[in-house]
């Protein structure tokens, strides 16, 4: 049996893990863009549900093991569906550059610029 070094097991980006990592983060980017565009909210600022209804919809046990990609997407869709679209052009509020697509893109990109190579841990660990 081939012994795998801790560096190969946990440090990113290893060539094979880098692809899986990119695919993983693309799920969040895709769902974020779906929310930003209004697609997850049926192009509404808010799909109202009472707090009681939201608890029923969003409550559940915390997974003890990693979840499948399809379950992750389902959860992100559900959370996005009932979140307030503050970046929506129909949302009446004071202007906030923190909600612009440029600020959001910069915030995502800056996370990669400010991080050193570090250990990564499996989801659910």
pLDDT of residue 96: 61
Q: 95: phi > 0 → left, psi -120 to 50 → alpha, else beta; which?
A: beta
CATH code of the domain in which 80 resides: 3.90.1150.170
The answer for residues whose C-beta is within 8 angstroms of residue 50's C-beta and 6 or more apart is none
pLDDT of residue 50: 92
pLDDT of residue 31: 92
In a domain, 7, yes or no: no
In a domain, 124, yes or no: no
In a domain, 122, yes or no: no
In a domain, 103, yes or no: yes
If one counts every other C-beta atom within 10 angstroms of the C-beta of residue 88, the result is 19
pLDDT of residue 119: 47
pLDDT of residue 89: 77
120 close to 80: Cβ distance less than 8 angstroms: no
pLDDT of residue 125: 46
pTM for the predicted model, two decimal places: 0.60
- Total number of domains in the chain: 1
The per-residue pLDDT string of the chain (125 residues; one tens digit each, 9 = 90 and over) reads 566 655 555 554 555 555 577 888 889 889 989 998 999 999 998 899 999 998 888 887 887 888 888 888 998 999 999 998 887 777 766 656 666 777 788 888 888 777 665 545 455 54
Structure tokens at 101: 């697509």
**Three-state SS letters, 22-52:** HHHHHHHHHHHHHHHHCHHHCCCCCCCCCHH
If one counts every other C-beta atom within 10 angstroms of the C-beta of residue 111, the result is 9
Range of the domain at 73: 12-113
pLDDT of residue 22: 81
């Amino acid at each position: 049996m081939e012994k795998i070094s801790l560096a190969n097991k946990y440090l990113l980006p290893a060539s094979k893990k880098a692809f899986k990592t990119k695919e993983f983060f693309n799920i969040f980017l895709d769902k974020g863009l779906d929310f930003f565009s209004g697609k997850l909210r049926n192009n509404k600022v808010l799909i109202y549900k009472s707090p009681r209804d939201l608890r029923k919809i969003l409550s559940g046990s915390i997974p003890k093991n990693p979840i499948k990609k399809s379950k992750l997407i389902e959860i992100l869709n559900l959370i996005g569906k009932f979140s307030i679209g503050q970046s929506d052009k129909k949302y009446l509020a004071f202007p906030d550059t923190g909600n612009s697509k440029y600020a959001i893109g910069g915030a995502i990109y800056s996370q990669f610029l400010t991080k050193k190579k570090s250990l990564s841990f499996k989801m659910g660990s």
